[in-house]
Structure 1
Amino acid sequence: MTRGKIMLVGLGPGSVEHMSGRARAAIAEADTIIGYVTYIRLVADLVEGKEVVKKSMTEELDRAIEALDRARQGRKVALISSGDAGVYGMAGPTFEVLFQAGWTPPTGQPGDIEVEIVPGASALNTCAALVGAPLTHDFCAISLSDLLTPWPVIARRLNAAAAADFVVALYNPKSGRRSRQIVEAQRLFLAHRRPDTPVAIVKSAYRPRQRIEFTTLDRMTACEIGMLSTVLIGNSNTFVREGLMVTPRGYANKYDVESGAARDGEKAGRSLSTGLDGWLEALRASGESVDELARRHGLPADYIAATLADTNDDAAASAEDAAVA
């Protein structure tokens, strides 16, 4: 019996030139193509002569079940997602269905089903490439869809990301039935960010109806936003210049950008003077209480207390070693 195979294929943004060679090869190799109808349309010229199973937006589990059924028949199935199959894509629900059915990785036995994940560029990558360099420092992605995730969970994540000064990519920001979630996200961010924080809204990246709009945090909800949009919210250092959204990596903290020379008190290849070691030294020298330090740095008091205790223990051990020597 021919071994069945499920290939979880990330199409990237959807344009053929931005699709990986392996993604195209996987589609060519497949007997059956399964996917959301819009994604099928993106690769219409690649699936001629194959069995094509089209599903609607909310039928992710049905897609995975169809893929498993075909693979059990010994067929090679390409289960396609836009972007990357592992980022809000079909990889997760497919493995849930597989494990529920008792699947295990192939061991060479008859009837084994092979699974391959073919990565693709996710929306945050493609949208960032179109607007500049907004993700060159720490960032995170949060979906505003509450179809499967409770809103309090989403709200806590939004609040934490906003407070921690992450650049944030908002997926699934708004739909015909979900119009308030983006407003609530804005409300949470405005509690921690300046109103003029740069925001980029990209719709249908690298597709025929691509649209890019630069705005600010306080004005973003007045912009055109839908399910085909990705919203990129900058951090406290992000700026827009000459039509490009850029988040500095932090080189200016350490070097003179024009000359490339390290600033006073800094050394190339070493942690910042305000890095962990320098920060701990400053804590010890501050004379402030743990609670005062916690409030000033926005960190849990028990974290600061434990860190200082570890540092004091290390210092005592070092002194003891030196005395013995």
Structure 2
Amino acid sequence: MTGWVVIAGLGPGAPDMVTPEITAALRDATDVVGYIPYVRRITPRDGLRLHESDNRVEIDRAQHALQMAAEGKRVVVVSSGDPGVFAMASAVFEALEHGPETWRSLDVRVLPGITAMLAAAAASGAPLGHDFCAINLSDNLKPWNVIEKRLRLSVEADFAMAFYNPRSKSRPDGFGAVLKILRETCEPQRVLIFARAVSTPEQEINVVFLCDAKPEMADMRTVVLVGSSLTRVIDCDAKQIVYTPRSVSQ
């Protein structure tokens, strides 16, 4: 039996946001590997083994998947959102690069998913309608000074921004430092969107101005979108719509 590895994004949470391509890969898989809550989104069935692991063992998880594929198993490595956006695709390729030469003959594919910033943007309008960037605020794999430099340069370039992993129990103060930098460099009426558990029944979309933003508005289930200086809010009857115009005047 010829093995393979598919690195798949399960989307932001709603089952109907999992693509048909990924559903087909899961139907053909013999093994699913991933972080505990993501693996638990997979429906068990006969002939499918589910391998759960902690969030900080990405390389071990990737090596396990590649080794099983080398043994002839059909392995799906699951991430939330898109696997290439702060997720497992890079970890698998890092393990592949540094692993046995025989792994390089394996069929390894990445299947895209809907990442949280796109689901959050759609739920709130079109805040990423012009140039934007995404920054992972976790300092687990890079130092804080790198995060701060990228944040300041992104503000200087007037990008709209998407913040992943803004705040957690182990990092309660980092997002407060981010808000402090934004207040030093942006106008008080800069638009922020706190999108929590987007696409799930627990979804919350909170649109605020920078002057009113508080660190506790974010947690690990939240993606934070920050508008550019051009981003606008339309007050409609049912909700506020946030969008960034498609053009920049000379």
Q: With the length of structure 2 as denominator, give the TM-score of the two structures.
A: 0.93
Residue 14 of structure 1: CA displacement?
2.5
- Is 1:245 aligned with 2:242? yes
> Aligned equivalents of 1:105 and 1:240: distance in 2?
50
Q: Which residue of structure 2 lines up, in the alignment, with residue 218 of structure 1?
A: 211
1:75 to 73, 76, 79: 73
* Residue ranges of structure 2 left out of the alignment (5+ in a row): none
Q: Which residue of structure 1 lines up, in the alignment, with residue 18 of structure 2?
A: 19
Q: Which residue of structure 1 lines up, in the alignment, with residue 6 of structure 2?
A: 7
Q: Which residue of structure 1 lines up, in the alignment, with residue 63 of structure 2?
A: 65
The within-5 A match list for 1:1-325 is: 2-43=1-42, 45=43, 47-49=44-46, 50-103=48-101, 112-241=105-234, 242=236, 243-250=240-247, 253=249, 274=250
> Aligned equivalents of 2:94 and 2:102: distance in 1?
12
Bigger proportion of residues as strand:
2
Higher relative contact order (CA 8 A, sep 6+): 2
Residue 250 of structure 1: CA displacement?
2.0
Measured against aligned partners, the alpha-carbon deviations of 1:213-261 in whole angstroms (never above 9, x if no partner) come to 111112222542111100001111111112111111127x4xxxxxxxx
> Aligned equivalents of 2:45 and 2:205: distance in 1?
33
Letter of the structure 2 residue corresponding to residue 18 of structure 1: M
Question: Does the 8 A contact of 1:162 with 1:188 survive in 2?
Answer: no
Alpha carbons of 1:41 and 1:105: their partners in 2 closer, same or farther (altered >3 Å)?
closer
Secondary structure of the residue aligned to 1:58 is coil
Question: Does the 8 A contact of 1:167 with 1:234 survive in 2?
Answer: yes
Question: Does the 8 A contact of 2:130 with 2:246 survive in 1?
Answer: yes
> Aligned equivalents of 1:113 and 1:124: distance in 2?
32
Secondary structure of the residue aligned to 2:167 is coil
Measured against aligned partners, the alpha-carbon deviations of 1:43-100 in whole angstroms (never above 9, x if no partner) come to 3x3x422100011121211211210121111000000000111110101011111111
> Aligned equivalents of 1:78 and 1:103: distance in 2?
21
> Aligned equivalents of 2:17 and 2:231: distance in 1?
27
Question: Does the 8 A contact of 1:14 with 1:39 survive in 2?
Answer: no
Alpha carbons of 1:104 and 1:205: their partners in 2 closer, same or farther (altered >3 Å)?
farther
Secondary structure of the residue aligned to 1:191 is helix
Residue 191 of structure 1: CA displacement?
2.1
Letter of the structure 2 residue corresponding to residue 202 of structure 1: A
> Aligned equivalents of 2:179 and 2:216: distance in 1?
12
Q: With the length of structure 1 as denominator, give the TM-score of the two structures.
A: 0.72
Higher mean alpha-carbon deviation, 179-188 vs 213-222, is at 213-222
Higher mean alpha-carbon deviation, 47-56 vs 89-98, is at 47-56
Residue 41 of structure 1: CA displacement?
2.2
Bigger radius of gyration among the two: 1
Residue 31 of structure 1: CA displacement?
0.3
Number of aligned pairs?
Answer: 245
Higher mean alpha-carbon deviation, 188-197 vs 23-32, is at 188-197
> Aligned equivalents of 2:101 and 2:164: distance in 1?
31
> Aligned equivalents of 1:36 and 1:227: distance in 2?
14
Residue 104 of structure 1: CA displacement?
6.9
Letter of the structure 2 residue corresponding to residue 41 of structure 1: R
Residue 207 of structure 1: CA displacement?
1.6
Question: Does the 8 A contact of 2:127 with 2:231 survive in 1?
Answer: yes
